[in-house]
Amino acid sequence: MPCFYRSPLLSSLDWLDHAFLPAGEAPPAESIYNQQRHTPNAVLDSEALPVKSREADGLIGTGTRPVAVYTADCLPVLIADSRHHLVAAVHAGLHGALGGVLINTLHRLYALGATPESLNIAIGPSIGPCCYELSEEKIASIRQENPNNLAPLMALSKQQHDNPHAVRPQATSTTQGVWFDLPLLAKRMAGREGVPEAQIELSAVCTYCMAEEQASYRRNSHFNHGYLQRFSWIKRR
């Protein structure tokens, strides 16, 4: 079943449109998006043309064209600034998030006049803590590198979370590692940057066990079902 998700938080704002689209569905034809490489870079829409001409994973919309990101299991994060009606889309996988892409996008929004209190952040469908396993070696490497002092914000568990909303089997352990909550990491990052908790929303949709068949890169690596890009977009009216 296609997983078309709209954020209740963003839907409450009458000056914007947005969507977290199912795998394989194209964004609006006029959408702007970057060449995503898990970078910490955040750019303006005016700096990102032609489409996919910039290597960046954060994109801020100052005009009326939609800004978009494409994901598989990584976090799609959509941001709305109610003060100046700016919007932003962020692609935040593990490396991009720890590299600072979400934080850099927030800082650039602040430089444009947004405040933490004026931001509303929707963290969309991504692989959840029910299905995202990292090896102990990977965790040790992250803690050793930790360039932005973000490792303390990671939510880790030796016990796999049982997802009662799963529509297909959850991931099984392959590394005897730990289960990692990527959406919660992003929420904690935004909170550390001052955004009020009530203005940060988690979709709680896991792309591995809850979304459509071809939504998950990791699930494809386990079952070879194929996967398709999932676009998320936001625009001001």
User: Rounded mean pLDDT of 55-63?
Assistant: 98
From the list 184, 208, 183, 212, the residue with the least C-alpha distance to 5 is: 212
Q: Is 58 in a helix, a strand, or coil?
A: strand
Domain assignment of residue 165, yes or no? no
- 178-180 and 230-236: which strand pairing? unpaired
Domain assignment of residue 86, yes or no? yes
User: Residue 218's domain is classified under what CATH number?
Assistant: 3.60.140.10
Task: Give the number of domains in the chain.
Answer: 1
For residue 108, what are the domain limits?
A: 8-126+185-236
Residue-level pLDDT at 3:
62
3 state SS for 166-216: CCCCCCCCCCCCEEECHHHHHHHHHHHCCCCHHHEEECCCECCCCCCCCCC
Mark 131-141 as b/e (b = at least 16 C-beta within 10 Å).
Answer: bbbbeeeebee
From the list 182, 186, 3, the residue with the least C-alpha distance to 79 is: 186
Domain assignment of residue 190, yes or no? yes
pLDDT in tens, 96-155: 999 999 999 999 999 999 999 999 999 999 999 999 999 999 999 988 887 778 888 999
Domain assignment of residue 166, yes or no? no
Rounded Cα distance, 70 and 230, in Å = 5
Contact (Cβ atoms closer than 8 angstroms) between residue 65 and residue 45: yes
pLDDT in tens, 174-209: 999 999 999 999 999 999 999 999 999 999 999 999
Domain assignment of residue 66, yes or no? yes
The tokens of 59 are what? 């994109």
User: Rounded mean pLDDT of 25-49?
Assistant: 97
Domain assignment of residue 163, yes or no? no
Domain assignment of residue 68, yes or no? yes
Single pTM value for the model: 0.96
